Amino acid sequence: MDKSWEASGVYMLTCRVNGKRYIGKSVNIKRRLNEHRRGKSYSTIIGKAIAKYGWDAFDKTVLEFCPTEELDEKEIYYIAKLKPEYNLAKGGGGRKGYVPLSAIKKLQKPIICIDTGEIFDSVKSAATKVGVTDVCISRVLNGRGKTAGGYRWDYLNPEDKISEETSKNMGKANRGRKQSAEEVEKRAAQLRGKKCENYNSYKKVICVETGRIFASVKVAAETVGITPGFLSNVLCGRAKTACGYHWKFAKEVFYMTENEVYDLLVETGAIMTGHFALSSGLHSPHYVEKFRVLEHPSYTAKLCRAIAEHFKDAQIETVVGPATGGIILAHETAMSLGTRAIFTERVDGVMTFRRGFTLHEGERVLIVEDVVTTGGSVREVIDVVKAFGGVPVAVSMLVDRSGGKATFGDVPSFALLHMNVETYKPEDCPLCKENVPLTKRGSTGKK
Ligand SMILES: [Zn+2]
């Protein structure tokens, strides 16, 4: 490092191992780089990366030397321009990681320009208007500066003002804030004494305020630049917030979008493209072979969990499906709902319950079916359920390819995927005219 680096400016660290970058600013770049080297930034993401890869694995560059008062702006500019991977904040504030929630809330309060009398709904809008950073105005608002952009500023509501004493302490706290790795570890060890039942560092974590979900406690902690210990204190109820935010373990998300279902069916080969003769005698360029996805238990379970999620509050007592695909779907859906699963089958072409399956009077039944084209089989299942005294609460389908034409009287329906599959009479089929080889498909054993 050159002696000339003992000056104010914006610098960049580039990790030669993974190519990730970090941009920082300092009134004395050389001194700041030495701090990084000595591990003073250990509590931040860049600090951890330095610890992991070693100081020598980082290329150091000065992006620009500039006067101290321009540091905020320059840092914001370079972060926005270069989008360095190790920076999480937009820069300018001198804060690492997430901006604490309390600070964001403060920025959203209405403020007044004392000299012009103009009122702004937030610090940000005022800052934009005057052409300075949020931080400059916030400093004035909190009594740590006289003017910003040449104007004096105040909160519109006096109760939003931070007292002089708090402001002083904030200044102090900010100056001497960084805890050493030992201090952090010591505090974490103290708190670890308290046991936490559901704690699992590999569970997904959600930030309540931002809604962002992280793969694990460690990932969330690293992202916001705190130790996993601090975050676990919140997750286990030993502390209210970490980095100003509330945190929870994220519930697993069972919901699936139609696109996700479609992709899964295409990937497994359940949705096929070609030239198919359907059991109805019609030709189609698409065919759904449900068993290409049902032959994968984990995928079937995923799809059925999505169905169960939709009906979790419907007080279902039994899930019924028509053989053969419906047996699997009923079983998996009932597994998720915690109910019984039974199936209907054909005896001499007539849909019925066999094997001693019965329903009690008024039993709430969810009917499941894989692929519905006309809805004929499902209507037969509804009739069987009613004949046995059950109440068909709803029909749930993996794929409704009827284009909305399959309806079930007063029984509502739900499909994970809606498709509008075009079909042609053989004499009008464009694929036949092009001599595309025809595949026979769709023998359902139905009459
Ligand atoms: Zn054809």
- Angstrom distance (rounded) from CA 55 to CA 49: 9
Provide the 3-class DSSP secondary structure of residue 293: helix
Amino acid occupying residue 90: K
Q: Which CATH number fits domain 3-82: 3.40.640.10, 1.10.540.10, 3.20.20.70, 3.40.1440.10?
A: 3.40.1440.10
Whole-number Å distance between alpha carbons of 93 and 162: 18
CA of 279 to the centre of ligand 1 (A): 13
Check residue 94 and give its pLDDT.
46
**Centre of ligand 1 from the C-alpha of residue 420, in Å:** 18
- Does 1.10.10 match the CATH number of domain 181-249? yes
Distance in angstroms (rounded) separating the CA atoms of residues 425 and 295: 31
Hey, which residues does 364 pair with through a beta bridge? 391
Token match 């696109």: residue? 259
What distance in angstroms lies between residue 427's CA and the mean position of ligand 1's atoms?
A: 8
Residue 304 Cα, ligand 1 centroid: separation in angstroms? 34
430 Cα–ligand 1 center, Å: 7
Residue tagged 């931070």 (tokens): 162
Rounded distance from Cα 273 to ligand 1 centre (Å)? 13
Tens-of-pLDDT digits for all 447 residues of the chain?
667 788 888 999 999 888 889 999 888 898 899 888 887 777 778 888 888 888 888 999 888 888 888 888 888 888 888 888 888 766 665 444 445 556 666 677 888 888 777 788 888 888 877 777 777 788 788 777 778 877 888 887 766 665 555 555 544 444 444 456 666 566 556 555 555 656 677 777 887 776 677 778 888 888 777 778 788 888 877 778 887 788 888 765 677 788 889 989 999 999 988 899 887 788 988 889 999 999 999 889 889 988 998 898 899 999 999 999 999 999 999 998 899 999 999 999 999 999 999 999 999 999 999 999 889 999 999 999 999 999 999 999 999 988 888 899 999 999 999 988 788 999 999 999 998 888 877 544 333
* pLDDT at residue 14 in the model: 92
Is the Cβ–Cβ distance between 275 and 285 less than 8 Å? yes
Give pLDDT, residue 364: 97
Q: 3-state DSSP call for residue 312?
A: coil
pLDDT of residue 341: 97
User: What is the Cα–Cα distance from 236 to 51, expressed in whole angstroms?
Assistant: 28
- Whole-angstrom distance, CA of residue 230 vs CA of residue 242: 6
Strand blocks (E) in 363-427 = 364-372, 391-400, 413-418
Listing DSSP states for 227-260 in one string gives -HHHHHHHHTTS-S-BTTB-EEEPPP-----HHH
CA of 92 to the centre of ligand 1 (A): 65
Domains 101-175 and 181-249 share a fold: yes
CATH class (in words) of the domain with range 258-440? alpha beta
Given a contact cutoff of 8 angstroms between Cβ atoms, the answer to whether 284 and 423 are in contact is yes
Report how far residue 107's alpha carbon sits from residue 125's, in angstroms, rounded to the nearest whole number.
Answer: 10
Cα–Cα distance measured from residue 175 to residue 98, given in angstroms and rounded to the nearest whole number: 18
The whole-model pTM stands at 0.47
Report the separation in Å between the CA atom of 293 and the middle of ligand 1, taken as the mean of its atom positions: 26
Give residue 421 CA to ligand 1 midpoint distance, Å: 14
Which one-letter amino acid corresponds to residue 143? G
Check: CB of residue 326 under 8 Å from CB of residue 343: yes
- Measured in Å, residue 444 CA sits from the centre of ligand 1 at 20
Q: How far is the CA of 440 from the centre of ligand 1 (A)?
A: 10
Distance 194 CA to ligand 1 centre (A): 70
β-strands 364-372, 391-400 pairing: parallel
How many angstroms does the Cα of residue 291 sit away from the middle of ligand 1? 24
| Token reading at 180 | 């050493």
**Domain edges within the chain:** 3-82, 101-175, 181-249, 258-440
Q: Which CATH number fits domain 101-175: 3.20.20.70, 1.10.10.10, 3.10.450.40, 3.10.180.10?
A: 1.10.10.10
- Residue 444 confidence (pLDDT): 42
Q: 83 alpha carbon to ligand 1 midpoint, in Å?
A: 54
Distance 179 CA to ligand 1 centre (A): 74
